[in-house]
A = this chain, B = another copy of it.
Amino acid sequence: MSQNRTAPDATRRSERSRRAILAAAFELVGEVGYSKLSIEAIAARAGAGKQTIYRWWPSKGAVLFDAFLMLSEGETGTAALPDTGDLEADLKTVLRATAEELSDPRYDGPMRALNIEILNDPVLAADYLQRLDLPMKEIKKERLRSAQCAGDLAADLDLDVAVDLLFAPLLSRWMFRSGPLSAEFADTVVETALRGMRPAGGG
């Protein structure tokens, strides 16, 4: 592949093919799980050649990562959280969207497969952390930093802990299926995290 000598049409075809492969990988892992996911099956589902996949990715794990990256790019759009100046409203928008996505049957299977591999394989977990989790966390911290500058958050707030406090309850409820991933739950998490658990005026 010498992309620099490729005509525009061929580039567009490549990009279409790349996206078809990633979408196929994402669908399939949700259907069969990671251990049964194969390059053959991805190629068949995408209507692409096995050699095309091997030319672009060294392993099925690499394909799957790019599939999740494509998804997370779609999600974050401009790679920033909304910033209307109202932190609570913005966080509710983001947590509601996250809750909705975690409840979506199209995402549930692939995300369970990914999390099983993360639990199972420390190397894949480290790769996930570097390529997906930390960049996503940075985007979230950026919004919190802007709120700190505006005086809406404590200046000495540990932003890593703050992000965990906001997002981990959704993860836990999804993992253990311990309650509905409703907009109401998302809102209560944001309100409780922002205001704290102490009585008003106390603490």
Q: A interface vs B, CB < 8 Å? A: 33, 112, 115-116, 118-120, 122, 125-126, 128-129, 133-134, 137, 151-155, 157-158, 160-162, 164-165, 167-169, 171-173, 175-179, 185, 188-189, 192-200, 202-203
Contacts and interface: CB of A to CB of B under 8 A. Distances in A.
Given A119-B119, A160-B179, A193-B197, 15 more contacts: A112-B119, A116-B119, A118-B175, A118-B176, A119-B175, A128-B176, A133-B178, A153-B197, A157-B197, A161-B185, A164-B172, A165-B193, A194-B198, A194-B203, A196-B197
B162 A197 contact: yes
Stoichiometry, copies per complex? 2
Contact of A198 (B129, B154, B161, B167): B154
B189 A161 contact: yes
Given A196-B198, A197-B162, A199-B155, A129 B178 contact: yes
A120 B111 CA distance: 11
Contacts of A194: 196-198, 203
Interface pairs A-B: 8 shortest CB-CB: A196-B196, A168-B168, A164-B169, A168-B172, A168-B169, A195-B196, A112-B119, A154-B199
A2 B33 CA distance: 44
Given A152-B198, A169-B164, A171-B168, A176 B125 contact: yes
B177 A122 contact: yes
